[in-house]
Structure 1
Amino acid sequence: MEQLDTITVECADAVGAKATRILIQDNLADLSLNRAIGRLKVFMDPVESVFIFAATLRLGTPAIKLKDFARVEMGSLGRDEVRIELEREVYTVKLLNKLWERYGKENVEQPDKKVIVVKTDPVKEVDALRELVIEERQQEILDRLIDAIALRIIPEGFRVRKHELSTSHVLFVASEDTLKPEWIKKGKDMMDTLRREENA
């Protein structure tokens, strides 16, 4: 499995552990999440009806902001507009969608494929536009990860759930029944162990 350091499935049923491991590997590969996960540990007990999923994350790539690929300046003298000159066009479609959503299509013009003009108060908006997030790669990865865990990996019927999600880790404790405090503690202990192993 590309980039994933370790994956451990702990279960009294060896066949169930192997099947769960394959299920996790396949789903992470299908959603291109292997590189986003450092270490992963699962504990499952079919008798107690508990499933715990803990993983450290390596999301890396920060958000792409408008200032990363364009010059943003006040428009023509005496006009209420901001002029955006694109240095790279790869994000143009996403940028236009964000501008239309924020300012309305009638206030966004593209006189040239590398120039976009936004009719707005330049004093108020020029700095805000420079910081405008166009692509949130970390959030997209987190969304795919939640989809993989919540909809594809956790056993069907395990509707009672508690989870923690950050840019450094993910922890899910799930069951068919009310979650026991010892299960939540076990999940936190698993997470602590993974962090120690990763930092060793």
Structure 2
Amino acid sequence: MEQLETFIVECPDVTGAKTTRSLILDTLSDLSLSRVIERLKVYMDPVEPVFIFAALLRLGSPSIKIKDFARVDMGALGKDEVKIELEKEMFTIKLLNKLWAKYGKENIEQPDRKTIIVKTDPIKDLDMLREFVIEEPQQEVLDRLIDAIALRIIPEGFRVRKHELSSTHVLFVASEDTLKPEWLAKGQEILESLRREENA
């Protein structure tokens, strides 16, 4: 597991802080999310009750589009088709599944391993197919991270939640009660302190 540059759990209850820290480390490790979080601060107070989770993220690969692994051109002269010539075959199954979902199996042909024909208007769909997203690694990681925080890390019963999510950070503020403005402000303050540390 790659070390977090910053990992702080603030809590008036020392035992609660240690338990929460251990739970978070185990959860991130179990879901292979340790490398995704660069800096993390958690503030919790069971008396208030409030739980704040703020993290700066380091996401990897951007979305993978057809143009990243294939040539996309007009098909045979006089036919309404787009020809996709695969340069890398590793995304073939995902590509076919996405194309079948969009165009229907009856409109997709694969005459050989490296060629896929899409029966569609090339003038209308050629550029769109070049930019067609096959895989979104960042989104998949963000989805796993949200599930980890919402389902495994935030204390049970803390159903009132507000969250902020981007490719650079995640912020969760949760409570059993209505969220107080000062808790939301504290969440933003913690996030800003992480950013200052990063830029120092």
TM-score under structure 1 normalisation? Answer: 0.98
| 1:162–1:145 Cα change, 3 Å | same
**1:54 equivalenced with 2:54 (yes/no):** yes
1:196 Cα deviation after fit? 0.5
CA deviation map 1:40-97 (0-9, x unaligned): 0000001111000000011131111100000111001011100101111111111011
Write the distance in 2 (CA, Å) between the matches of 1:106 and 1:179.
52
Write the distance in 2 (CA, Å) between the matches of 1:191 and 1:6.
12
Structure 1 counterpart of 2:43, one-letter code: F
**1:146 equivalenced with 2:130 (yes/no):** no
| Percent identity over paired residues | 75
1:34 Cα deviation after fit? 1.1
**Aligned with 1:184: secondary structure?**
helix
Write the distance in 1 (CA, Å) between the matches of 2:170 and 2:105.
39
Write the distance in 1 (CA, Å) between the matches of 2:150 and 2:83.
43
Q: For structure 2, list consecutive stretches of 5 or more residues without a partner in the other structure.
A: none
- Residue-pair matches, total: 200
**Aligned with 1:89: secondary structure?**
coil
1:102-181 maps to which residues of 2 (within 5 A)?
Answer: 102-181=102-181
Q: For structure 1, list consecutive stretches of 5 or more residues without a partner in the other structure.
A: none
Cα-Cα RMSD:
0.8
Write the distance in 2 (CA, Å) between the matches of 1:26 and 1:3.
13
TM-score under structure 2 normalisation? Answer: 0.98
**Aligned with 1:196: secondary structure?**
helix
Which stretches of structure 1, 4 residues or longer, exceed 3 Å deviation after superposition?
A: none
